[in-house]
Amino acid sequence: MAQPIKVVVTGAAGQIAYSLIYHIAHGDVFGADQPVILHLLDIPFMMGVLEGVVMEIQDLALPLVRGVVPTADVSVGFNDVDAAFMVGAMPRKQGMERKDLLSANVKIFKDQGQALDKYAKKSVLVVVVGNPANTNAYICSKYAPSIPKSSFSAMTHLDQNRAQALLAQRLGVPVGNVSNVIIWGNHSPTMLPDATHAQVQTDAGLVPVPKLVNNDSWLKNEFVPTVQNRGAAVIAARKMSSAMSAAKAAGDHMRALWQGTPPGKFVSLGVISDGSYGAPKDVMFSFPCTVKDRVWKIVPNLSIDDFAKSKLAVTGKELSEEKEEALSVCQD
């Protein structure tokens, strides 16, 4: 069996982590033969709750767990880690705007970026889950200059999963039969869920989703806003933000980075933009990506219609504005 890897989860006493830790510890993320040492980081106030989480991990009796390190000290939490789930952040509550989250959370990610830079392995893979995820990922990477920017990514896999599930429901097929749904841009209501290049596995082979849906109006006027606003809908119903589905998506995201994407399939990742598809450069923008040997590449040369171009411009503008606001907050 492989040597254990060290995996840190921030906000480890919180709701998302409560589900995510099981996925990691069970082998769903890094592989069924990959032992892990869990570094569970949270604020001092949450150490009592975290003690209960540690008890539950022990009681799971999972063979891949080779150690658990609960801590409020970043020098311990980030020490020599191979992978990082940056979950800890102020959660979005009903009626909250993203800009309210931004000012509260970017300073957290500045501090944690500096801690990653100082204590983590330079090969660490970092997935930012705490919102606003794209801009938090940008700030985290900016303040960890010795770690490659390509090692940081923002989670838009939750939006991809939501889009994939909605299409499967519409078409009456198993959700696993739907692939290559794209999330473009920001993890916010400006994102573009795009089914243009999505496929469904049928008895007759792979069939394009637009052909099967056969309703362009539904794809633009119902599918897009439903996915864009799903997070708010969950909060309205649950009175709390998405947790179980966010945890699953964080695991999906890291699994794609760690284990790669299957041939012919791609995954949506919020990664540092090189200007592909007209996106602004040097923001964390969600693109369709393939991953091999823990290196992601943006899928090139996909056709983009005028509807998509207009949506990409909107979400790109939002990301540029968020970035500038975040940088000003960090300099205060």
Annotated binding-site members for NAD(+):
42, 105, 129-131
In degrees and rounded to multiples of 5, residue 21 shows phi and psi of -60, -40
Annotated binding-site members:
42, 92, 98, 105, 129-131, 162
**Contact status, residue 242 vs residue 231, Cβ threshold 8 Å:** yes
23, 39, 187, 253: the active-site residue: 187
Annotated binding-site members for substrate:
92, 98, 131, 162
**Contact status, residue 285 vs residue 182, Cβ threshold 8 Å:** no
Q: Would you call 97 helix, strand, or coil by DSSP? A: coil
C-alpha 312, offset from chain centre: 19
Quote the Cα angle for 141-144-146, to 5°. Answer: 115
Q: What are the start-end ranges of the E strands in the chain?
A: 5-10, 36-41, 65-71, 83-86, 125-128, 152-154, 178-179, 182-184, 192-194, 199-202, 205-208, 267-272, 284-292, 295-298
**Contact status, residue 11 vs residue 247, Cβ threshold 8 Å:** no
Could you tell me which residues are beta bridge partners of residue 194?
A: 182
**Contact status, residue 247 vs residue 17, Cβ threshold 8 Å:** yes
Residue 207 CB coordination number (10 Å): 15
* 23 flagged as catalytic: no
In degrees and rounded to multiples of 5, residue 141 shows phi and psi of -70, -35
Structure tokens at 56: 């539950």
- Helix (H), strand (E) counts: the chain: 12, 14
Residues constituting the chain: 332
Cα–Cα distance measured from residue 41 to residue 8, given in angstroms and rounded to the nearest whole number: 7
**Contact status, residue 104 vs residue 90, Cβ threshold 8 Å:** yes
Catalytic residues, by residue number, are: 187
